[in-house]
Structure 1
């Protein structure tokens, strides 16, 4: 074993525990304190030949420990601020959603959901079915007028209307009882004019 290695081992064995106590007094975490002390010993070891000859290794290592503890605590403070900012943002978003829900009545929420479901269902219908339905409900055209407009039979108009109503009834079954669906469809279609 070289004389340098013996000096390192002697210093490490003799002062490691005391240095960990010093580091732990700052960082309050034994594992972090142990890492800082080990890193400080390694830092001294790697720089020992570049340091002035009269450098006391113990003072150098303690100085390095304090600097690393300071860097660790600054890093924790930054992390804490970021975490707090994210938490505040989450709390603001939660407050916004709560206020939004508290300001809307259940009926308003359901009405908005029903309108959205109807819009999506109408968009997904075949174009003829949708056009026949909208002509009947929003333009209030008769079956005969619809048949003439789309060049189809009156029987086909009735079929397309029935299919459209069945599709809307199915889409809205969880929101409205069946007997209300047909009563409210005309009211809801006003949103599509």
Structure 2
């Protein structure tokens, strides 16, 4: 038994060092060679600063709406709702989001609403929406801003991010960057 006891202690110490020291130093080192030095991507426009890598709340009809957030876009408390897909409270929340979206986007059928516009991400801070989610909002924004739909389609295409290395994940759009560009359209 003694031989197993000391082996277990050594394994625990080695695991603790790997997970709490080596891993942290490795990730911190990688972060320092990124363009933002691990600090996140800041965008400053007209004296106002935005974090491009944290979801922001956009609910005004003249903007592309963000993905809903279970934490009301509070970066200090990243979390999902932790409610299962059959939870009555969760279903009521999703239905309320669908109803709100349909009121603000007449002509869009319920079946055409992308899931990322009515469900929160696991972190509650996802700054991206799908290309489909941007396109389904296009008519509302074009009408309110008086911008031709082809111009908005081009803007969406310009801000569409390709999958990582062309392989991992879907195409997506950073809502903060898209809405900043939208405000700069003349």
TM-score by length of 1: 0.27
TM-score by length of 2: 0.28
Higher relative contact order (CA 8 A, sep 6+): 2
Compare the two structures and name the one with the higher strand fraction: 2
Compare the two structures and name the one with the higher helix fraction: 1
* Bigger radius of gyration among the two: 1
